[in-house]
Chains A and B, each alone.
Chain A
Amino acid sequence: MIQQNENNRMARGAFERMLWRHRGEPGKLIPLLQAAQDSYGYVPQSAIEQISDVTGIPSAEICGVITFYKQFRLKPLGRHIIRLCKGTACHVVGAETISQVLCDELNIAPEETTEDGLFTFTVVACLGCCSLAPAMMIDDQTYGRLTPQKIRNLIRQYRRNAQKTAGVAASAKA
């Protein structure tokens, strides 16, 4: 818990420094929101108010920009982000089935986060590795030529790893 607070404080620091440094420059709203999201994992209400205070842009306008672009999130993300590609090349080789399998395995719909906070599942238009279709990314790692079986194994592997690290953390505490 202490560690988490420390992290939050540092994240806030990075975002605030950027906010003050660029406050007078035109066209900085999107980079500022990106910085907020990088720091917190999403754009919290407090960041919107801060940006509005410093730049003078009304918070309604900031919300308008946030909801226009797909990149921005108003809710915290899960620990791992699954980005499933639904580009043309992936679609013709069965991305729809892959999506179904992921929903079943995670027990959530696209754009939702699992109850345990481990995964957020989102669908993206194209990851740009069409020759590896169907493809998805978990965090920064790309997985290509997916099959239902491959996906189930992958998700289970991430779950096992999460349990393992949780176990290590618990025993360290004890």
Chain B
Amino acid sequence: MREVLVGLGSCGLAAGGLKIYQRFAELLGSDCNGAVLKKTGCIGMCYAEVLVEVRDEEKGSTFYGNVTPDKVERIVESHVKNGKAIPEWVVSPNGSNSKQKRIVLRNCGVIDPDNLDEYLAREGYQALEKALTQMTPAEVIQTIADAGLRGRGGAGFPTGTKWRLAAASKDTQKYVICNADEGDPGAFMDRSLLESDPHSVLEGMVIAAYAIGADTGYIYVRAEYPEAVKRLRHAIAQATARNLLGSNILGKGFQLNIHLKEGAGAFVCGEETALIASIEGRRGMPKVRPPFPVEAGLWGHPTCINNVETLANVPWILLRGSEAFSALGTEGSKGTKVFALAGKVKRGGLVEVPMGMTINEVIYDIGGGTLSGKPFKAVQIGGPSGGCIPASLGDTPVDYEQITATGAIMGSGGMVVMDETTCMVDMARFFLAFTQNESCGKCTFCRIGTKRMLEILERICAGKGKEEDIALLSELGEQIKSSSLCGLGQSAPNPVLTTLRYFLDEYTAHIRDKKCPAKSCLPLVEFHIVEDKCTGCGLCVEACAVGAISGAKKSPHKIDVLKCVRCGKCITVCNQGAIEKR
């Protein structure tokens, strides 16, 4: 018997996965040697979407990458019906999976996320049963503490300690919240996890609620993730129907009701006090801590907030024991970490590696190196709160303390690879523009300081930078870090400070030489037409607003550098790729 699985996470859907699924459904019809067609979540190899897995009982799994509707027929005829794989279309998961260790992603791309039975068949809710029948809440907390699990949302606070603090409160009303407000641009771990294996997160939440004594839970999820919201809603209904959620969980008299709260588009709501304010229906602005949410959180009651990935680790730890988890990783960082590998990397996607693996290993052994094949220049870790780590520090292991030492942070797990065509000053400007825009405005330094920093960076990118700007940027950065209330402001200058630390030469090239070494800041580059490539079609002449391009039809054109205002429009209209930046 063979099974056909089509990856239908957001990535797969965006690449046209639904059409592929429908085509398979048409071709397989009602009976096809008993083959079964299934939907699944994110398989992790997003670079090769649409992905289709053909699972053979005897021969194991074969993955087909970049599947288009025309390829479906041959896959069905040759492989599904006759058992003959098509080697030229196969993508090998070995390159990207061999060094991975899947704990959080154990079910992603393996099960149908809408089918509770498939989750149950893979030890689903067994950890919950074990906790409710064999363990006291204190024992559950001790197991998580012994495992050394730390919060995967970015800051790395020990989960066991957080639970113990929440459990210690005498308040009769407590809450658990799952923070699924994944806002970092370039990060999609939580989305994929919620879409591909929602029950593992729900199970983790119920265990957390049991451990601290909460009876109500909230999942705060980004409204920009419609597919995740849909699947979560479905999963909650299924679990409630089977008494895995609700008023009498597994018949043990334990109660937990989970509500879904859709965010309304504010990055700062990923911060826990802002998130609470948002659930309460107010503007999502952070508060002074203490009191911490574990003492006085949602509506003044003790509230335990955990990240999606943290919660998905919990069932695994309870079933396998704390030693199995703490055996992985480094001294201070145990277990695994999921990264969203993106940018100029060959095999981008979702990867899960044991803590302690070096950045080089993640990029080269798992990601397959850069698109161009040249060495990478820098890697951005931790999104807008993180920083750019240069290739020279590629041996840094993935570990909370070691990454923090470079000036970046572990963050939620975005890892964007950059090569020599990425300008680091522009990168710093990009991230600061993001945090500046998302600053809630409560703290003066975050509100106004980031604005001033952004203006300076824009000036530098436009070739109008001054020598003293560099010192001013560092000074402002340090001040914003020390005088902001929440993580957003405290980390907003990180991308600027790390690029200043490792790529100062690029800043000076912009300021002194008025050159952008990556040829990415348009005001600092010159446009030229490559004669051999130009067909003289005249499209660029039409597009140029200042009449800087001239030349007779069907013979190579020329750009007058003095007239050119460097808007870059000619590049977007040229079909020959004949316009070059120098």
Contacts and interface: CB of A to CB of B under 8 A. Distances in A.
Interface in B434-449: 434, 438, 440
A68 B266 contact: yes
Contact of B416 (A27, A33, A89, A128): A89
B433 to A, nearest CB: 9
Contacts of B185: 86-89, 91, 125-126
B572 A131 contact: no
A154 interface: no
A149 interface: yes
A100 B348 contact: no
A93 interface: yes
Interface stretch (B337-345, B354-362, B395-403, B476-484): B337-345
A130 B46 CA distance: 9
Interface string A124-154: 1111111111010000101110001100000
A70 to B, nearest CB: 4
Interface residues of A, number: 43
Contacts of B380: 88
Interface in B37-55: 46-47, 49
Nearest to B184: A126
A29 interface: yes
A33 B278 CA distance: 13
A97 B14 contact: no
Contacts of A131: 11, 46-47, 49, 342, 348-349
Interface in A30-46: 30-31, 33-34
Given A71-B264, A97-B568, A148-B573, A65 B282 contact: yes
Contacts of A140: 226
A127 B572 contact: no
Interface in A72-111: 72, 86-89, 91-93, 97, 100-101, 104
A139 to B, nearest CB: 11
Contact of B264 (A70, A88, A97, A128): A70
Contacts of B191: 128
Contacts of A125: 183, 185, 267, 434, 438
B388 to A, nearest CB: 11
18 contacts: A29-B282, A34-B223, A65-B281, A68-B284, A69-B264, A70-B266, A87-B186, A88-B186, A89-B342, A91-B185, A91-B430, A92-B416, A97-B568, A97-B571, A126-B188, A128-B187, A130-B340, A131-B342
